[in-house]
Structures are given as C-alpha cells and as structure tokens.
Amino acid sequence: MKLMKNGSITSPQGYTVGIATCGLKVSAQPDLMLLHSIRDCTAAALFTRNQVVGAPITLNRETLASNNKTVRAVAINSGIANVCTGALGLQNARSMQSMTATALHCQPDQVLVLSTGLIGVQLPMEQLSAGIGTAATKPQSNGGPEAARAIMTTDTLPKHLAIRIYTPRGKVTIGAIVKGSGMIHPNMATMLALITTDANIPATNLQSLLKPAVDASFNRISIDGDTSTSDAVLLLANGTSGISCARGESRQSFEQALNYLVTQLAKQVVQDGEGVSKLVAIRVSGARKRVDAHRVANTIATSPLVKTMLAGSDPNWGRVMAAAGRAGVHFDPLHTKLWIGTDQRKYLQLVEHGAACDYNEPDAVRILSSTDFEIHLDLGCGQQETTVWTGDLTREYVSINTDYRT
C-alpha cells in the first residue's frame, strides 16, 4: 500500500465534489460540500451514541435502514449543526436531502446528509438551497482537499488522506476527509468522517470492515472528554475499479489499509485539537483484559490533572498513577511500572514496583516538552494492552470555547 500525495475522497475512481459558500459561517468561508459518485455505492456508517442527536443523524439512520446498497451522494454543511431544532429541524434535513437529490438527479434515499456547527440554530434553507445548486453545477474530480476545508468548524487545518492498495487483480484506492477539533472523546465516532473507495464490497462486508477500524482509531482518541451530538463516520464503496475486496487476500489488504488510514487521521484530529500542542500516546499494558487496558488508558487520557501536567511538561507522574487507580480496574500498585519516551529504545523509567525510580528530572522534562511522545504504564497483572491518543489541556482551549459563539 502507498499513501497518495494530497489524497482525499476524490482520489478513488468515480467521485466528484462540489463546494459552495452559503453564509452559515461568520468567517464567510466555504461551508457546504456535495460528494457525488458516478455509480451506486454500498454504504456503512457508525453514529454517535449521545442521546441528543442532530436531525441529520436521525435521517441517516432511517435512510440506511432502507437503502445501504445504492447511495449516490453525501451533502455536508458546517457552521450550523441542526441539533435541538425540533420537528422543523428534521423537516429541514429532509429538505436538504431532497434538494441534493434533485440537483444531482438521483432519489432522496440515495443521499446522506451531515451538519456540524452551532447547536440550537435552524438552517437557513433558502441560502442552503442556493449553495446546493451552486455546488452541484461545479463538480471537481480533485476537489477533496477543498471539501475537507469546507466542513471545518474550529479546526485549524483540513484533514484528508488517501491510500492505494495493490491486489493480485489490480489497484484500489481509499480516500477520506475528517473534521474534528473539540468535543472529541471515544463514544463511537467522535467527529465527522467521510471515507470513499472504488473497491467492490457488499454493504454487509463494508460494515464489518468499518466497525473494527473505528474501534482501533477514532475510538482511541480524546481531547476533552465530551462527545458530540453529530458524530458520524460514513464509508462508501462504488466498485468503479472492478476489483472485489470482499474476501481473501484482497480483503486483508483492504482492511490493513483502512485501519492505517483512519488511525493516521485520528492522530491528525488530536494534533489539531482545540488548544492542543502535544500528541501523546497513552499505552497501558499488563492488563488481564483488553477492555481493562482501554478503561485505564482512557481514564488517564481524559484526566484534567494529567492533561495540565502534559501542558506544563511537568513530570508529576503521580497524576498518571492516581488516574489509573480510579479507573475501576483491579491491579496491584506494587506491580506497576511507568515509562515515558519519544523512542522506545531509549525510554525513561519513572516508576518500578509502584515507587519512584532514580531518574534524571531534566531528562523527564525534556521528553515531556516534546510535541509527540508516549506514556507507558504496565499494570503487571496480565498480557493485554492497548493505546489511546490524547493531547494536553492549555489556556487556549478555554479561550476557543468561551469565544465560540461570539
């Protein structure tokens, strides 16, 4: 497999993107993208588990329950989330779906819609209608990077990747765009992600490929412990390459590439997190069960005290140990070990048998001052492990979120 330069959702064969500015953002930047496939797509999706969901999530669940085999388009707007908007909000989501279908000459149940931005605000449908018309008339076969920019809210950088897979029958491509900067925490999806491929994969196979990939990537990142009302991951496969990746060696290659792609994008989300200056891997090993390792790692990753420790490059490792201890997983503190490092061959050990090692504090500060490093805690009671990714908590996070509406 090979990462493609400037790759995105239009890197696979058969997809185009249209971009428009509807005036939904104070910045007056592009705020709408339409993805269109020249062929019917099978579709898989995962959505937020938050009980308060946006109208587009409700509509997409309904749409995919009746049609996950002939999807043709995805419309995404940014600036307004269409959440907590009542019956009118759901009506507007349906109108957005219908307007897109009309503009792209397909059926409403062949269109999925997503919205992100402010909660509690109704979509201005006349502006949105005009934008959909504009975007539909200007399809671009290389417009994926601009699509990634159009769906941004508090993101500072567009996030997009594509990867090419070489199978015995030829090459297939997977492309993706992601937006996410705040309200990021494992609870299924944790942001908006749109993934495309020109491989031929039945819908049932596609769903079975997507869920473990999300579990190992987007469900292993945390910025602030909050989950969004609009979280979604969509995966479309239009089969334009003519190559099946439903089983055997081709499926294995596709699965490996998909997992790699979404993991890299998940890390990009953390690196672009609100106020984040450091990408930190929290690795927990020596657990009895993998779910236990995840619970401990997640508790460490979301601890405000740990995250402020990271922001200050302060080797106050007691905060890591205290967070692990309240995770609800049984282990013996006297069997624990703790390391930090940027290079696994030269990790600095801070804790042995639950007590401080004789380490050099300036070395610890130097590692914690890096922009990319790992904290490794071994619980000493089993063979299971996992890794999650988090960032530091800085004053900038507070500034971004206190000024978000103004």
Reduce the DSSP state of residue 120 to 3 states and report it: coil
Stretch 348-369: mean pLDDT: 96
Q: The whole model's pTM is what?
A: 0.83
Stretch 28-38: mean pLDDT: 96
- Write out pLDDT tens, residues 48-94: 877 888 999 999 999 999 999 999 999 999 999 999 999 999 999 99
Stretch 381-405: mean pLDDT: 76
- Residue of 266 and 18 predicted with greater confidence: 18
Stretch 261-290: mean pLDDT: 88
Q: Are 184 and 301 in contact (CB under 8 A)?
A: no
Q: How many CB atoms lie within 10 A of CB 72?
A: 24
Stretch 152-172: mean pLDDT: 91
Tokens of residue 313, six digits: 């490059």
pLDDT of 154 above 90: no
Stretch 264-269: mean pLDDT: 88
- What pLDDT, on a 0 to 100 scale, did the predictor assign at position 395? 66
Tokens of residue 279, six digits: 């990408």
- Structural domains of the chain in order of their starting residue, each with its CATH number: 2-271 (3.60.70.12), 279-402 (3.10.20.340)
Exposure string over 291-313, b if 16+ CB within 10 A, otherwise e = ebbbbbbbbbbbbeebbebbbee
- Write out pLDDT tens, residues 325-354: 999 999 999 999 999 999 777 899 999 999
Give the contacts of 283 (CB within 8 A, at least 6 positions apart).
Answer: 297, 374, 375, 376, 377, 385, 386, 387
Phi and psi dihedrals of 204, rounded to 5? -65, -40
- What pLDDT, on a 0 to 100 scale, did the predictor assign at position 224? 52
Alpha carbons within 13 angstroms on the beta-carbon side of residue 399 total 5
Residue numbers annotated as active site: 190
Cα dihedral value 291, 292, 296, 302, nearest 10: 30
DSSP string, 237-252: E--TT--B-SSHHHHH
- What pLDDT, on a 0 to 100 scale, did the predictor assign at position 314? 93
- What pLDDT, on a 0 to 100 scale, did the predictor assign at position 400? 55
- What pLDDT, on a 0 to 100 scale, did the predictor assign at position 184? 43
Rounded to 5°, the CA angle 79-186-206 comes to 85
pLDDT of 39 above 90: yes
Q: Which H or E run contains 17?
A: strand 15-20
DSSP string, 310-373: HHTT---THHHHHHHHTSS----GGG-EEEEESSGGGPEEEEETTEE----HHHHHHHHTSSEE
